[in-house]
């Protein structure tokens, strides 16, 4: 891959500077304390929906009593698999290219909302999982747990793990797009990678709430200076990728 000229880097910097200038002109804060970000986060419906299911799952798990020792494998396995899961969902679902199947246009709500999210990464309502999606997805996990696990306690352990991870994902994604500035080394990596995905090139850096482990394995974690700034980073699928 050839190294882009300085004009390409200048374009990426202008995009980011223009975005920040627009927010400053609108009176938005450029630095948000973590506590204020936490309060703003709970102003969206998504955390309440996920949090409600999480509380119900935790309550059910406590009331169900002791389970088998192997249930500890469930949260550990989900945490280990999560970077790969979010990469696949980001690539295959969120970056879904609209297709026609005869007279039917295949363009899921999640993909449409994600295109809008790329068009304006600082429109915070677009950061969250859409409510209509959560309305069927959160109960669907209950059905899945009932079908795939042999005991009530293991099913509830799965639900607690899934809902906790999903709430953590929503919080991290919101924080990256908010006016909060990263302090920890881990969050600086997450913050930098996701901004590169939104302002540099949408074909790379698919990790959202993780620090790019699977991106490195699957070849979507290049050096930013070696990647051309994409003309469609704010308008997904406007042109075919060269």
The per-residue pLDDT for range 106-162, each reduced to its tens digit, is 999 999 999 999 999 999 999 999 999 999 999 999 999 999 999 999 999 999 999
122 within a domain of the structure (yes/no): yes
Tokens 């600082």 sit on residue = 122
Catalogue the E-assigned strands of 46-101.
99-101
What pLDDT band is residue 12 in, cutting at 50, 70 and 90? low
Residue 60 has pLDDT above 90, yes or no: yes
Sign of CA dihedral 31, 38, 87, 117: negative
pLDDT computed for residue 2 by the predictor: 41
42 within a domain of the structure (yes/no): yes
Task: Indicate the number of domains in the chain.
Answer: 1
Residue among 228, 181, 135 nearest 30 (CA):
181
Model confidence pLDDT, tens digit, residues 155-208 = 999 999 999 999 999 999 999 999 998 889 999 999 999 999 999 999 999 999
142 within a domain of the structure (yes/no): yes
Question: What is the domain range of residue 104?
Answer: 33-182
- Mean pLDDT score of the chain: 89
The string of DSSP letters for 134-202 reads: HHHHHHHHHHHHHHH-SSHHHHHHHHHHHHHHHHHHHHHHHHHHSS----SHHHHHHHHHHHHHHHT-T
188 within a domain of the structure (yes/no): no
217 within a domain of the structure (yes/no): no
pLDDT computed for residue 31 by the predictor: 77
12 within a domain of the structure (yes/no): no
């Amino acid at each position: 891959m050839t190294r882009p000229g300085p004009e390409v880097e200048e374009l990426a910097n202008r995009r980011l500077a223009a975005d920040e200038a627009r927010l400053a002109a609108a009176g938005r804060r450029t630095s948000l304390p973590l506590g204020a970000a936490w309060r703003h986060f709970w102003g969206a419906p998504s955390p309440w929906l996920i949090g409600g299911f999480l509380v119900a799952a935790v309550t059910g798990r406590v009331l169900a009593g002791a389970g088998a020792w192997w249930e500890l494998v469930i949260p550990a396995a989900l945490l280990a698999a999560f970077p790969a899961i979010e990469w696949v969902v980001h690539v295959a679902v969120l970056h879904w290219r609209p297709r026609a199947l005869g007279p039917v246009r295949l363009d899921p709500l999640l993909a449409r909302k994600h295109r809008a999210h790329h068009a304006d990464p600082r429109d915070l309502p677009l950061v969250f999982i859409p409510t209509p999606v959560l309305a069927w997805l959160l109960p669907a996990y209950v059905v899945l747990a009932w079908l795939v696990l042999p005991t009530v306690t293991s099913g509830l352990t799965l639900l607690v793990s899934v809902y906790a991870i999903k709430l953590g994902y929503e919080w991290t994604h919101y924080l990256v797009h908010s006016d909060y500035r990263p302090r920890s080394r881990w969050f600086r990596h997450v913050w930098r990678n996701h901004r590169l995905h939104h302002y540099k090139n949408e074909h790379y850096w698919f990790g959202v709430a993780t620090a790019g482990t699977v991106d490195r394995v699957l070849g979507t974690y290049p050096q930013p200076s070696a990647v051309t700034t994409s003309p469609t980073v704010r308008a997904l699928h406007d042109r075919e990728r060269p």
